[in-house]
Amino acid sequence: MTIAEVAEALRVSRMTVYRLVNSHAIHAVRFGRSYRVPESAVESYIEHSAVDEAELNTDDDGGSADH
């Protein structure tokens, strides 16, 4: 996938994808001046970035939302 295709799939900007590639959050292969990102790398990034439902049900201090 190209950087533009990854950006469209993740619904982020191309600059965000470049940042993810440069920070090694998403694996990419460089061909000359351009990058190609394997679909498996995008899928892996999504799986590792998924928010667990339990994380959504707690507030910032780690306790329950009921005070």
Query: How confident is the model over 33-43, as pLDDT tens digits?
Result: 999 999 999 99
Task: Over range 22-26, report the average pLDDT.
Answer: 97
Q: Which two tokens stand for residue 6?
A: 């990854």
pLDDT greater than 80 at residue 21: yes
Collapsing DSSP states into helix, strand and coil, what is residue 53? helix
pLDDT greater than 60 at residue 48: yes
> Any idea of the CA torsion for 6, 12, 14, 18, to the nearest 10 degrees?
-80
Residue 29's pLDDT band, with cuts at 50, 70 and 90, is very high
Determine the Cα–Cα distance for residues 34 and 23; give it in Å rounded to an integer: 16
